[in-house]
Amino acid sequence: MPEFAELYGRPPTVRADAPGRVNLIGEHTDYNGGYVLPVAIPRRTCVELAPRTDRTVRAWSAAGPGETIATYTLGTEAPGHGWLDYVMGVTQALAATGRRFDGFDLRVTSDVPVGAGLSSSAALEVALLRGLRALYPLTLDDLEIARLGQRAENDLVGAPVGIMDQVAASLGSERTALFLDTRTLAWRAIPLPPTIELAVVDSGITHAHASGEYRVRRDECARAATLLGVAQLRDVAPGDLSAVNRLPPPLDRRARHVVTEDARVLAATAALEAGDLERLGPLLYASHASMRDDFEVSLPAIDALVEAARADPDVIGARLTGGGFGGCVVLVCRAGRAAEAARRVAAAWAKETGGAPVVRVPKVDGPT
């Protein structure tokens, strides 16, 4: 892999990075104005930067196609449907705030798997914004970095994502979950009790229609909110499921998932704060069942992976994490047991289904 100096003929002047994340609980709640509880993972995207005196951006990523350096001029950002869109989205969003900066040379490396639901896109956006903040330097707080990352992805990339991923990458850390109210952006760091350790098993399953299904679910939630007479499903009182249950199917099921999931995030946050593992585990399994039955974003193979986790003595709770239709399962394990438990669960599931799982957390492979 070429070093920065080999690519650009001079050393970088700034290095910055940002982590991927796993969402502990609170799925498909972010675009409904609700609550989420992500945790940063020990996998990061790193950027190296050197400033330029013109308006040119040159960018290279180890994850990019081939070994080519991509180039564009600031102010001419336009979607090209490749990884450079994330870089252009960031410079466009940053320029729209009125901040002044020149071009730069950029090298990106990462051990956050791309497209596995661990938010490699937000890790890239936040790492780049941190790098640009240090390079020029710019006054930007961490919450604004998260907002700009989301804007980059919404506007130039064209993905209608909520703000959870960018907030987690910008404010999260590995031993604290981030309780986030996605409407107000009020957040609270919730230390993970020392009795637990997280694991993430990647099913390796990717679904060609996942982003189409995501749009359908978003639209269903918006229609449900309109029929219920609320701005967003977040506004339905937690105990008030009678109106939800009278919605025409499948809007009743979709809204029921969101409303009960918001309540589960609040309950899981309280359980974590109390160190009450007896309450935490069932909330994760209930979240999975709700994604499977009401939101219908699971797959039989993913359900089997969660069941394999449930059968493991060192797993306290497990659920599908991320948008669905494949991706990763998050396991809450007894402290010190996560690596072993994840390996056992992955092996049992591979044997049962013939799948090719990868343990992403704890990080056992070497640096990349």
Task: Using the rule CB under 6 A, give the single segment among 22-30, 59-67, 144-152, 171-179 that binds ligand ADP.
Answer: 59-67
Given a contact cutoff of 8 angstroms between Cβ atoms, the answer to whether 129 and 49 are in contact is no
Instruction: Take residue 79 and report the two structure tokens written for it.
Output: 């979607």
Residue closer to Mg ion, measured from CB, 161 or 255: 161
Size of the site for ligand ADP (CB under 6 A): 17
Subset of 144-183 contacting ligand ADP (CB under 6 A): none
CB of 280 to ligand ADP, least distance (A): 25
Q: Which listed option, Mg ion, ligand ADP, none, makes contact with residue 232 (CB within 5 to 8 Å by class)? A: none
Quick one: which of 23, 32, 121, 290 contacts Mg ion (CB under 5 A)? Answer: 121
Given a contact cutoff of 8 angstroms between Cβ atoms, the answer to whether 291 and 327 are in contact is no
Our CA dihedral for 324, 326, 330, 336, rounded to 10 degrees, sits at: -170
Instruction: Take residue 226 and report the two structure tokens written for it.
Output: 């309109």
CB of 321 to Mg ion, least distance (A): 13
Quick one: which of 19, 89, 117, 357 contacts ligand ADP (CB under 6 A)? Answer: 117
Residue closer to Mg ion, measured from CB, 119 or 298: 119
Which residues are tagged catalytic? Answer: 165
Instruction: Take residue 88 and report the two structure tokens written for it.
Output: 């252009």
CB of 249 to ligand ADP, least distance (A): 30
Q: Does 325 bind ligand ADP (CB under 6 A)?
A: no
Instruction: Take residue 349 and report the two structure tokens written for it.
Output: 């599931």
CB of 117 to ligand ADP, least distance (A): 5
| Helix, strand, coil tally for the chain in percent (to 5) | 40, 20, 35
Q: Look up residue 96 and give its DSSP letter.
A: H
Subset of 66-105 contacting ligand ADP (CB under 6 A): 83, 86
Given a contact cutoff of 8 angstroms between Cβ atoms, the answer to whether 101 and 128 are in contact is no
How many other C-beta atoms lie within 10 A of the C-beta of residue 17? 17
Give the separation between CA 233 and CA 262, rounded to whole angstroms. Answer: 9
Q: Look up residue 173 and give its DSSP letter.
A: B
* Interacting residues toward ligand ADP by CB under 6 A: 45, 61, 63-64, 83, 86, 108, 110, 114-121, 124
* Interacting residues toward Mg ion by CB under 5 A: 119, 121
